[in-house]
């Protein structure tokens, strides 16, 4: 199995309604063909720049890295990430593991 994790924050000027809209678009990533499991949401712990710097996350599981690579190239993923998410993201960290 391959797990792809993205931790992120929104830009300060992104309104709450726009954050909800983006979150809804991100949830669509879980419907892509190679995704085995997908979850996204807001951290329930209060953020702290030193200890808990990210407010949101998304995580997808795939059968293997080939599945993740197919997901990365899928037209829906490319559109949502480039056109919807990246313009609103202030910073992010990506972490991938095989387990």
CA dist., res. 24 & res. 54, Å (int): 19
Residue-wise pLDDT tens digits, 40-50: 999 999 888 88
Q: What are the structure tokens assigned to 52, written together?
A: 């808990």
- Please tell me the predicted confidence (pLDDT) of residue 40: 96
16 Ramachandran zone, left/alpha/beta (phi>0; psi -120 to 50) = alpha
- Please tell me the predicted confidence (pLDDT) of residue 61: 98
Q: What are the structure tokens assigned to 87, written together?
A: 């313009």
Residue-wise pLDDT tens digits, 72-97: 999 999 999 999 999 999 999 999 99
């Amino acid at each position: 199995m391959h797990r792809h994790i993205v931790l992120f924050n929104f830009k300060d000027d992104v309104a709450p309604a726009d954050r909800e809209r983006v979150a809804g678009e991100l949830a669509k990533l879980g419907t892509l063909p190679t995704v085995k499991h997908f979850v996204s949401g807001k951290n329930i712990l209060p953020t702290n720049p030193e200890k808990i710097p990210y407010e949101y996350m998304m995580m997808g599981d795939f059968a293997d890295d080939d599945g993740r690579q197919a997901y990365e190239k899928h037209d829906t993923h490319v559109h949502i990430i480039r056109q919807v998410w990246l313009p609103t993201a202030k910073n992010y960290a990506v972490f991938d593991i095989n387990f």
